[in-house]
Amino acid sequence: MAINLQKGQQISLKKEAPGLTKLMCGLGWDIPKSSGRLLGLFKLQAHVDLDASVLCLNPNDKLTSKSDVVYFGNLHHNSLAITHLGDNLTGKGDEDDEGILVNLPQVPETISKFVFVVNIYNCIKQK
CATH of the domain at 84: 2.60.60.30
Residue 1 lies in a domain: no
Distance (Å, rounded) from C-alpha 69 to C-alpha 87? 15
Q: What is the DSSP letter of 84?
A: E
Structural domains counted in the chain: 1
Q: What is the share, in percent, of the chain residues with pLDDT greater than 90?
A: 42
Residue 7 is assigned to a structural domain of this protein: no
Q: What is the DSSP letter of 71?
A: B
Query: What is the DSSP code (8-state) at residue 74?
Result: B
What pTM was estimated for this model as a whole? 0.77
Q: How many CA atoms lie within 13 A of 4 on its CB side?
A: 2
- Say how many C-beta atoms besides its own lie within 10 A of residue 77's C-beta: 24
Name the DSSP letter for residue 33: P
| Domain contains 87 | yes
Band of residue 44 on the pLDDT scale cut at 50, 70, 90: very low
pLDDT tens sequence across 59-92 = 999 999 999 999 999 999 999 999 999 876 665 6
Query: Is 8 inside a domain boundary?
Result: no
Which domain covers residue 78, as residue numbers? 13-27+46-126
Tell whether 99 is covered by a domain: yes
CB 100 within 8 A of CB 84: yes
| Residue 79 resides in a domain | yes
Q: Would residue 83 count as lying in a domain? A: yes
Q: Is residue 108 part of a domain?
A: yes
Cα distances from 63 to residues 40, 48, 60, in angstroms, run 51, 29, 9
Closest CA to 49 of 125, 124, 121, 104: 121
